[in-house]
Amino acid sequence: MELERAIFDRRSVRFFTDQKIEKDKLRKICEAAIWAPTAGNSQPWILIPITNPDTIRLVRTVSSGLLGNPQALIAVFSDKENNIRRMGPSGGSLAEMDCCFAAQNIGLMAHAFLWTESRAFATC
Neighbouring CB atoms inside 10 A of 119's CB total 20
39, 97 contact by CB (below 8 A): yes
Q: How many CA atoms lie within 13 A of 109 on its CB side?
A: 20
Model pTM? Answer: 0.83
pLDDT at 18: 84
Residue 52 pLDDT > 80: yes
pLDDT for 90: 94
Longest CA–CA span in the chain (Å) reads 45
Taking the C-alpha atoms of residue 100 and residue 104, their distance in angstroms, rounded to an integer, is 6
pLDDT in tens, 21-41: 899 999 999 999 999 999 999
Q: What SS3 state is found at 72? A: strand
CA distance 107 to 13: 10
What digits encode the pLDDT tens for the residues 54-107? 999 999 999 888 888 889 999 999 999 999 999 999 999 999 999 999 999 999
**pLDDT of res. 115:** 62
The beta-strand segments (E) located in the chain are: 45-50, 73-78
Q: What domains can you pick out in the chain, each with its CATH number? A: 3-114 (3.40.109.10)
- In the predicted structure, residue 123 carries a pLDDT above the cut 90: no
> Could you give the percent of the chain with pLDDT greater than 70?
91
> Across the chain, what does the average pLDDT equal?
87
